[in-house]
Chains A and B, each alone.
Chain A
């Protein structure tokens, strides 16, 4: 594909799906998210099966407080919103604004990760609650940790895209890449909403 077709004056309605490659990526990514859904469903199932197997160690009620988790939820939800802004600017072909909003998204994501690390640190050193404590511990750290791993991966991905394309600007080759990264980010956000509900809310109530 020549440079003109990839760099039109105005972006088409849906730049992420303007090329065949973009369309394929888009569809493939949805199936990938389907697989990820099954993955998290298995982890949730495991968590639900094991959450009362505390082996006489601390259980959900004693451990979890909602304040920090609420802040984390807000951070992640807001970051989803800011990534929507970024995609809005992508469709308007204003690259600078897109980068700006992606940058804010990344900062919010980093804030979330920082809280999560603090939370884990607190459980391990404050409460002596570890992966090895009980089946509940294994299930908790694996589920929440898998999610945290996804957040980390998503951040690295978005940062890589931002750095790499900083000089290139927006075109039909990288528009699908940005778009898909933002989809991934939304997915992580949705999973967190379930974690918030199933692990934390149901844990303390």
Chain B
């Protein structure tokens, strides 16, 4: 029985048993549903083996939305538990688990996936490319992310969730204080997903550097593509640090290593340093694509070109450099001297400068613009003030002496939610609404969309502003309860109300998707927003090969020029088009990674070795095969183009 004990949940509760049943039923329902409708072949051929960046983008999107709800459920439980003083809805252990999984799921599996979704769908189209540079690696990235997420998400029904915070500081996260396998899940699931992210990073850098349409010089790239380029550069130089930190955490936990132990010479601060050397660039990995999205949406709906293109580029480059030299601000209180703290205070505050430049550029773009208020525009407009509040409080936290007061209080929690929600979540929802017609061929309903916007933005303010006050009054973060005498009750109750509004907002988004799928008109043009960049120059739905004729670019708004100034975007005739073949290897290999991860989490060594051999077999297969892709003949291109309405010349 010993062997099976490890799979038991250390702190079972009726909710968890109910989830187990729900998960089992859902799985059975999915398998039965697919079998009944005889869709296995379709699923395999069109989705599981696809290497098409557009489909991969859509799969990221679906996963991100699912993870949003998973993380959201944790959030609601947290706010419900703390809404009243000395509440007993959750015990302390359960509370620890949900704030940990909330953080990890939202950052690694929701926000990152959402960014990957939009980047995958949009970037190749924006630069006029057929696909990314390495389509098959792209599929591998997605499936590694997907199976990593799956591994992380089964933790709460098999073996127990991680409970040491999304930052997983040692020694708390070591074997001594975190005895369940939960933290193993953390170390290994994030490792698998992180590997996928790193591969995406390389893939998109090469795509953007090498696959741009003729004439698109670097300084003529659309701003979203710029932000994607810089984001992926940060990924390539930051994620390996996380890889190392997680590997060492794994060695400590599974093999008795002494990196972060407090005995045997280990150094617990080493984890904190490595984690934040990755962690701070990570928050900019999240925010820069969002900046890029706003820089696409604001000019489109202000009907004028982006103000200060060059300074926009310069400021993202500067932000990316600075993001690597501020990490210590996450632990000013943890033992460096005044000198070190002061240096990192200054670098931290310096980030506000390029960020401020961007804010002003958006404001100047709006100035004198002819603004149309659409849902994507509403999110962009809401972003500016709320994000500024989050950013300014960030500067307050960045002053090391003052941070002794704010650190690890609800004030900090308010800060980062007020940057991440308007920064990332608003941007993703804006981008989703904006690019939705290109992805799916119909528009999301504007009225429901506006309702979602108001619920979410007011909900954000109601949920997080009170935390500034309770934080300054001394309410520590990550505490599962507090006494009535503290007076925190009222603020937490207001937060809870805000959280409910946010949840309602997200439900309306799902309803909107459902409603629009059923009722929205399918008769829309390929450019419904009257937009400016190349992704709108091809048909809707986008054909497999994206562009029948490679577009010719002469400015940062080539499509706008072709509409207004008679620029000839698609010169020449149809040619044969070279396409990559589908492949099942990325899916299979990533699934084996899942098995490997599972085996490591539970120290089942034989299975781990078998899985490792399987991974090597997949790699060898790749190295052995000779895959030259296939060609779409001219006639077929012509036929497709005529069916979709003829290439716009």
**Which of A's residues lie within 8 Å of B, judged by CB?**
1, 20, 23-25, 27-28, 31-32, 34-36, 38-39, 42-43, 46, 49-50, 53-55, 131-139, 142, 156-157, 160-161, 164, 168, 173, 177
Contacts and interface: CB of A to CB of B under 8 A. Distances in A.
Interface string B202-223: 1101100111000000000000
A188 B502 CA distance: 50
Nearest to A46: B270
A19 B185 CA distance: 42
Contacts of B243: 39
Given A36-B240, A50-B270, A173-B626, A138 B134 contact: no
Interface of B: 133-134, 198, 201-203, 205-206, 209-211, 236-241, 243-245, 247-248, 251-252, 255-259, 261, 264-267, 270, 274, 277, 578, 616, 620, 623-624, 626, 628
B203 A28 contact: yes
Nearest to B237: A38
> Main SS of chain A's interface residues?
helix
Nearest to A27: B206
Contacts of A38: 236-238, 240-241
Given A31-B202, A35-B240, A36-B240, A23 B210 contact: yes
14 contacts: A27-B206, A28-B134, A35-B201, A35-B237, A38-B237, A38-B238, A39-B241, A42-B240, A131-B251, A132-B255, A134-B258, A135-B259, A138-B248, A156-B616
A193 B198 CA distance: 26
B236 A160 contact: no
A42 B236 contact: no
Contact of B206 (A31, A36, A49): A31
Contacts of A177: 623
Contacts of B248: 46, 138, 142
Contacts of A135: 258-259, 261, 264-267
A49 B266 CA distance: 10
Contacts of A34: 236-237
B266 A31 contact: no
A132 B244 contact: no
B211 to A, nearest CB: 8
B210 A139 contact: no
- Count chain A CB atoms within 10 A of each CB in B251, B258, B259, B626 and give the residue with the most: B258
A198 to B, nearest CB: 16
Contact of B267 (A28, A50, A137, A160): A50
Contacts of B265: 50, 53-55, 134-136
B210 A24 contact: yes
A117 B243 CA distance: 25
Contacts of B238: 38
Contacts of A1: 578, 628
Given A28-B133, A134-B264, A46 B259 contact: yes
Given A31-B205, A161-B623, A49 B258 contact: no
Nearest to B264: A55
